[in-house]
Chain A
Amino acid sequence: MSSQVVNVVVAGLGGQGAIKASDILADVAFRAGLDVKKAEVHGMSQRGGSVTSDVRFGPHVESPMVTIGEADFLVVLAPSEVEVTRPLLKAGGTLIPPDLVDEKALPNRKSLNVALLGALWYEAVKAALPPHLHAVNEKAFQLGRAAAGAK
């Protein structure tokens, strides 16, 4: 059961949009017809402190929290948070670090959260399919995104 559940942790500092990014991700999984649970701690989240948000999806999800060492994907929005959250990642899990996207290329500095979601989709498609299908599915992914954007 658990093996079919995908565990994602989005980490950052208060005000960076880590929770917003995790909300978007959870909504996509929900729209895809999967069971979804997410957990995070609010309250102090606007005061610049460390924030993590757990998103879990699959055919059936029990606990809303990602266990240390069991995250399939770790999306980190702030350089200072990479090392403090790395133990969440399972062996062979995928880290999406903040410096993956050139901040200067962002239309708005505050959109790093969504930019890293883009990276996460790409990594997730790659992780779900064998290598010989990556190119064709990347193209399909871009096509779907463009079609939705054109609506």
Chain B
Amino acid sequence: MERRLVSGDEAVAAAAFDGGVHLGTGYPGTPSTEILENFSRLGGRAQWAPNEKVALEVGLGAAYGGARALVTMKHVGVNVAADPLFTAAYTGVSGALVVISADDPGMASSQNEQDNRHYALAAGLPMLEPSDSQEAYDLALAAFELSAQFRIPVILRMTTRVCHGKSIVQRRAPVTVKAPAFERDIAGRVMIPAFARPAHRKLRAKLAEIQAWAEASPLNVQVKGDRKLGIVTAGVTARHAREAVPGASFLELKTIYPLPLEKIRAFAASVERCLVVEEGDPFLADRFRAAGIAVEAKAEAFRFGELNVDRVRRIVARDSSPEPVLPKGKPPALCEACPYHPVFASLRKLDCIVAGDIGCYTLGVAPPYQGLDTCVAMGASLGVGLGLRHVLPEKDARRVVSIIGDSTFIHTGVNGLIEMVYNPPATGHVLIVLDNGTTAMTGQQEHAGTGRSLDHDQAGKVSIEGLGRAVGVKNVDVVDPIEDPAGFEKLLVDRLGRSELSMIVSRRACILAAADIRKWDKAIADKCGGCAGGADV
């Protein structure tokens, strides 16, 4: 196969294709989104799930059925998927299951910079981590083999620079995998306490075997250099470190969990100063020290943000002088023609307290609107808005509005919608769904509400306003805020004045996606002879 210059995300997609993956699923999230898009382009079967928990469950079911499954998400998505993830470690899989955790140190496009290496330790799941695109390809393939061999889900941890960085990749010949087939294993798959207790012991025994595998694994790269300085490192940081101190001895870890502790112990003993250089939390250093391996960890200042060559030089030199910072550039903002403008203008004019959510509309927090009061997690606008309504004095409670995008509403907003109906505040509540017909912020992906599949073909369509009516929201309206901004504001004023539950779906296509949406809908209509948009299934 020819060598190509590709991103880490493209490399994982190619590995999934060459590794015989039967099904890829996930929820869009920077920097993971392009994996499934590219897997689909290569001819793989890829689909978006409403959220990461459902995606993982679909992938798990496929792997129970003997298939190879790939499940992709950003780091915070793993929080959503954590419930099935932890117990999937007990049940194991029949085929293979690889979960991509795409972390975002430095928070280029995220609400936190959590270090998901902790998940591998907490759940007891093997984790591999590449440092560039070739390793992303090789380790994704290795992850599928590891998962199939030990019948356990494997996490492939990536970070923004590996996902979106490009480097040269040489693909290998595709592997042939077994066809999916069901094998009954009630004691192994039904996690009632009587079966889960032995399953936990079995998991720990499996992890001991995988640690032995990691000790001997050629995936971990050792470089003999100056004995005065030995650096243990992982992920893209290994690339920065090899450049920053080219003469040092290196142990580049690819098996993040279970760790090859004896290999590390021997390496540490072979050098005068053993320094752990890692991005994010001192995960590796803490594990080494817990195992009684004396290592030097980076200074606390380097827990924050991304590392780079300059920061690695500082870690090595124990340099705590102020780091150079670039002048602030222009922050991202709502597009000039964004359909959210009139909504934020009205919210500001009416002095609303706005419980916000995750998506393009989070940019409404910037001047001139400063239009959000909270933004925490996907779907949190509903619960947070309701909590505020429950406790604030009536005058202020009536100012509270929850705003959420269409894709985020489908993701986990629906659960908050049910809470709104079940535990309504005395003053009622107003929910605005900003429906621009796409998962805009991550690059215009489809979702269950668009009626189109990941590859923009016809799919089942979930009605957002239909969900509102079905669960029992009293007032449900659909408006176009660009067509009639005054009408939108009048409606909002009316709904804020009632002690009732109201849902306003503010519907207007994303300005960046509108032309594509028209094109996709036309292609679907042409194909099925006039039935525009998604089908009612």
Binding site for B on A (CB under 8 A): 1-2, 13-14, 23, 26-27, 30, 35-44, 46-50, 52, 61-65, 67-69, 80-81, 83-85, 87-88
Contacts and interface: CB of A to CB of B under 8 A. Distances in A.
Contacts of B30: 42-43
B310 A67 contact: yes
A85 to B, nearest CB: 7
B166 interface: yes
B330 A36 contact: no
Nearest to B162: A64
B167 A37 contact: yes
Given A26-B5, A62-B240, A68 B441 contact: no
A44 to B, nearest CB: 4
14 contacts: A26-B166, A30-B168, A36-B167, A37-B165, A37-B239, A38-B166, A38-B167, A42-B31, A43-B31, A43-B108, A43-B443, A68-B310, A84-B328, A84-B329
Nearest to B166: A38
B68 interface: no
B442 interface: yes
A38 B308 CA distance: 13
Most buried by A among B329, B331, B441: B329
B243 interface: yes
A65 B164 contact: no
A51 B28 CA distance: 21
A49 B330 contact: yes
A41 B332 CA distance: 12
Interface in B244-259: 246
A23 B168 CA distance: 13
A30 B167 CA distance: 9
Contacts of B512: 46
Nearest to B160: A41
Interface string B417-448: 00000000000000000000000011100000
Contacts, number: 116
A23 B5 CA distance: 9
Given A37-B239, A44-B332, 13 more contacts: A23-B166, A35-B167, A35-B168, A36-B5, A40-B165, A41-B109, A46-B512, A47-B334, A48-B330, A62-B240, A64-B132, A64-B167, A67-B310
B308 A67 contact: yes
Contacts of A13: 330
Contacts of A23: 166
Contact of B236 (A14, A38, A64): A64
Contacts of B246: 1-2
Contacts of B324: 68-69, 87
B332 A84 contact: no
A86 to B, nearest CB: 9
B481 to A, nearest CB: 19
A84 B333 contact: no
Nearest to B329: A50
Contact of B333 (A26, A35, A49, A62): A49
A39 B242 contact: no
B363 interface: yes
Size bracket, chain B contacts? 35 or more
Contacts of B360: 47
B471 interface: no
Interface string B82-126: 000000000000000000000000001100000000000000000
Interface in B138-184: 160-161, 164-168
B208 interface: no
A35 B405 CA distance: 42
A37 B166 contact: yes
Contacts of B240: 62-63, 65
Interface string B319-360: 000001011111111110000000000000000000000001
Contacts of A43: 30-31, 108-109, 441-443
B81 interface: no
A84 B327 contact: yes
A2 B328 CA distance: 28
A36 B328 contact: no
A39 B132 CA distance: 11
Contact of B108 (A35, A41, A61, A65): A41
B330 A50 contact: yes
B168 A39 contact: no
Contacts of A69: 324
Nearest to B9: A42
B309 interface: yes
B329 A63 contact: no
Contact of A38 (B165, B239, B310, B330): B165
A70 B448 CA distance: 46
Contacts of A52: 329
Contacts of B161: 39, 64-65
Given A47-B363, A48-B332, A88 B326 contact: yes
A49 B165 contact: no
- 4 smallest CB-CB distances across A and B, nearest first, come from A50-B329, A43-B109, A49-B332, A47-B332
Contacts of B167: 35-38, 61, 64
A65 B240 CA distance: 8
Nearest to A87: B326
A41 B331 CA distance: 13
B340 to A, nearest CB: 12
A13 B30 CA distance: 19
Contact of A37 (B132, B308, B334): B132
Contacts of A26: 5, 166
Interface in B191-230: none
Contact of B243 (A14, A62, A68, A81): A62
